[in-house]
Amino acid sequence: MKCYLIKGQGIDQITLTERPVPEITHDCDVLVDVKACSLNYRDLMVAKGLYQSPGSQPPPFIALSDMAGVVRAVGDKVTDFKPGDRVLNSPLRHWPAGTLRSAWIRTFVGAMGVDGVLAEQIVYPADALVKVPDHLSFTEASTFTVAGLTAWAAVVTHGKAKPGEWVLLHGTGGVSIFAAQIAHAMGARTLMTTSSDDKAAVVKERYGVTATVNYRDSEWPQKVKEITNGAGVDVIVDVVGGETLARSLPICNYGARIAVIGVLGGGDVTLHIRDLLSHQVQLRGIYMESTEELRAFMRAVDYLKLTPVIDRIFPFEQAQEAYRLLESQKHIGKVVITIGSQG
């Protein structure tokens, strides 16, 4: 079967290769024909050699963490799936439920020596797979694994957004656009920052974002506060960190919940504790979520008939171009690669 390997540092090192078809060696595993994969910011960091931790294995390994496909065969003890079922994967091969444990972190696929999913076929544990709701195509379904699940964790599981509340989102990338869609489904209002006035118009007109502010304007926090009539925001989906996080605290409403997700703007910051305690603000680190949460999310997706915002779909042969679009930050929402026929 064909797959893409991360072989070194740089997008041009993502290499199309032949490998043997993987075999089911555990009774609880499933062989999946992969139909579509989606990209996340993390995949850029992996490709550039910037996503490592002590003890992690070097390349080569198969790229990407998010996929949707069709079950081809199941192990003897698998009862939840049968050949022909449409499935998507949890990002970690093992995080069934509850709080993450250290032994499970190393099962996050598509980095640090752990094979990912940008392959014609993969073997995955049955208990880390979820059925795809009928209304979704494979390209759509492949976007929920990391970005969708993280947004769900930030807005619903831990953010507990309520109708009428203001949810602040940074940028127009995969996590933030999903978070806007989920916030709208909860009846909340959304305030999105972006560096692009063109993107601001698109997210308001096409995706129902309530208000936008340009984060290149140094006065953006004051503008956010004005839009909320001085009250401040109730939930923040923070994919930026750094100074953006520090400047977010004074624009929080009483009882606000901040989901700390990413470090696009930097990993170190000085926070003023008085801003946290005076407004009873909760700060919560988010690392996607468990398969149990992914199942809950997909039940909601099914009920709401939610479909993701996909910027562009690339054929398998153009995987490097997909990475380059993500790197350019010209996209809104998700970038997807398809594999083979989509029927």
List of residues contacting ligand NAP (CB under 6 A)? 40-42, 146-147, 150, 170-175, 193-196, 199, 215, 239-240, 244, 261-265, 286-288, 326, 329
Q: Which tokens go with 33?
A: 């024909």
Q: How far is the CB of 295 from ligand NAP (least distance, A)?
A: 17
Q: How far is the CB of 341 from ligand NAP (least distance, A)?
A: 27
Residue closer to ligand NAP by CB (options 30, 153) is: 153
Residue closer to ligand NAP by CB (options 126, 177) is: 177
Q: How far is the CB of 26 from ligand NAP (least distance, A)?
A: 27
Q: 3-state DSSP call for residue 225? A: helix
Cis before 20? omega within 30: no
Residue nearest to ligand NAP (CB): 173
**Which are the contacts of 261, defined by CB distance < 8 A and separation ≥ 6?**
150, 154, 175, 237, 238, 239, 286
Q: Give the separation between CA 320 and CA 1, rounded to whole angstroms.
A: 19
Residue closer to ligand NAP by CB (options 16, 201) is: 201
Q: Give the separation between CA 135 and CA 141, rounded to whole angstroms.
A: 9
Whose structure tokens read 């976007």? 143
Residue closer to ligand NAP by CB (options 35, 199) is: 199
Residue closer to ligand NAP by CB (options 21, 271) is: 271
Q: How far is the CB of 154 from ligand NAP (least distance, A)?
A: 9
Q: How far is the CB of 140 from ligand NAP (least distance, A)?
A: 16
Torsion of CA 148, 88, 337, 144, to 10 degrees: 0
Buried b (16+ CB within 10 A) or exposed e, 114-139: bbbbbbbbbbbbbbbbbbbbeebbbb
